[in-house]
Amino acid sequence: MGKPTGFIEFEREIPVDRPPLERIKDWGEFHVHMPETSLRTQGSRCMDCGIPFCHTGTLISGMASGCPINNLIPEWNDLVYRGLWKEALERLHKTNNFPEFTGRVCPAPCEGSCVLGINNPPVTIKNLEVAIIDKGWEEGWVTPEPPQKRTGKRVAIIGSGPAGLSAAAQLNKAGHTVTVYERADRPGGLLMYGIPNMKLDKNEVVLRRIKLLEDEGVKFICNTEVGKDITSESLLKDFDAVVLCTGATKPRDLPIEGRPLKGVHFAMDFLTANTRAVLDKHQNGTFINAAGKDVIIIGGGDTGTDCVGTSMRHGCKSLVQVEILPKPPLERAKDNPWPEWPKTYKMDYGQEEAAAKFGDDPRVYVTTATKFEGDDIGNVKTVHTVQVEWTKNDKGQFIPKNIPGTNKVLPAQLVLLAMGFLGPEQPLLDALNVERDARSNVKAEHGKYTTSLPGVFAAGDCRRGQSLVVWAFNEGRGAAKACDLYLMGATDLP
């Protein structure tokens, strides 16, 4: 603990993002770094707690509390304060294969459980994390580290999203020959096509790390869907082990009147096509364009926010984000104590941009859509909404109930459904005949990751359901350890 009084002397400080009205003109990342002196000051605020809840990585009330990959946060906070950046990077890489990803897109449950956050603003952990890894890349400290010897074992990983990449990195480190299959045209899964470029740059950040994995020996095969382009039987025959990391990509639909109208799309179709167009410099393919349209986004989570930010960059005419849940309080509620994730009101980057352009937060709370209305040629033109109240049913469960007299009709030429996901797509799982749980996820115990098929493991959203990127990293690393143990009878992987 470099400065015992740092948390008393200094206030929390975070970098100022690029101005909203400036950044919606391009697809570049909107975050900027603070000067090194400021970063070192922020590192000094860490109290090096006797029990550092920030890296406990557990679930409390169904939400992440602390870092799921158990980052050694107090250690690299102190090293940043001392100016020992390379040593801080070494500590960071001990637990995190891809800190440049988590430092940009993780919601930072570590900060929600920071002990200083009980009665003061928490330590700026996320900003320090990304500053450490970005400095590491700038200084040339991040270099390929291929294994010194190979085991002769071959592992196939299905899916190149967060879980697949972390599993690949760890299994390659153990000396196995790793092949990652990806059905899209570029590797990265959710990191490539599920998160917009302004939030996570694809060429400068995602593909840079994938190139490093390739230099270390990992092989990526894109445009290949297991179960269609190659059979599951040949996969099981040709490899000593298989790790399923297909994600939870089956979107939740909204089967109300007018759903088949043109202009009503799933959020991921919108985001994926747009990111592909940005990467192709709009020279190939088509994408769903919000330019000049009244946009309605149904769903208030991160995917909904990304739809807001993308629509703003297209130049939408107006934007409303429909959220069925109540507006969160400004401060922690009594039933949401530390170290739980703080369910408090905030405007994310997309809402900030919409507010700067249109004058207010675009979200309307405790509201749901009841009908999509179309024009004479089958295009959506309005969305009918109603306010709801949350009441208990006869089983004691909270359910939304429409409030009479609160109906509204909103103009819309584009509707984006961002209401979460129901689980993994089933064709590959059917072909493998792997056992599933009641929610259609691959059945595999957390910590063991073994499926009903010998030598087949599952990790990430296809096992646990829709979750945070950092939980996918946790599971990918865990599945790699279980797979290594299966292949070798022992494992040294963390």
CA pair distance 148, 160, nearest whole angstrom: 24
- What whole-number distance in Å separates Cα of residue 132 and Cα of residue 12? 18
- Coil, helix or strand at residue 157: strand
Tokens of 151: 């085991």
Burial class (CB in 10 A: 0-12, 13-18, 19+), 123: buried
pTM: 0.95
Residue 370 DSSP one-character state: E
| Residue 286: predicted pLDDT | 83
Termini Cα distance of the chain: 25
Fold of the domain spanning 154-249+422-488: FAD/NAD(P)-binding domain (3.50.50)
Predicted pLDDT at 285: 67
**Tokens 């009147």 found at:** 257
Length of the chain: 494
Architecture of domain 253-419: 3-Layer(bba) Sandwich (3.50)
Is the domain defined by 6-139 classed in CATH 1.10.1660.10? no
Structure tokens at 215: 């230099």
SS3 label, residue 11: coil
84 burial via Cβ count (<10 Å: 0-12, 13-18, 19+): middle
Query: Mutual orientation of helices 207-215 and 162-173 as an angle, nearest 10°?
Result: 20
Residue 44 tokens read as 């000094």
Q: In degrees rounded to 5, what are phi and psi of residue 37?
A: -65, -40
Mean pLDDT by 10 residues, the chain (494 residues): 88 95 97 94 94 92 93 96 98 97 96 95 96 98 97 98 98 98 96 96 97 98 95 94 97 97 98 95 83 97 97 98 97 94 95 98 98 98 97 90 97 97 94 95 95 97 95 97 98 96
Q: Which parts of 339-407 fold into alpha helices (H)?
A: 349-358
Report pLDDT for 129: 98
- Tokens matching residue 350: 């997309």
H helix or E strand, kind and range, residue 169: helix 162-173
Q: Over the range 303-312, which residues count as b (16 or more CB within 10 Å of their CB) and which as e?
A: bbbbbbbbbb
Give the start-to-end residue ranges of the domains of the chain. 6-139, 154-249+422-488, 253-419
Give the span between the Cα atoms of 131 and 126, in whole angstroms. 9
User: Are the folds of 6-139 and 154-249+422-488 the same?
Assistant: no
| Cα torsion angle, 329, 332, 333, 336, sign | positive
Pair 319, 354: CB distance under 8 Å: yes
**341 Cβ neighbours under 8 A, 6+ residues apart:** 60, 63, 64, 65, 109, 112, 113
Q: What sign does the CA torsion over 185, 190, 196, 200 have? A: negative
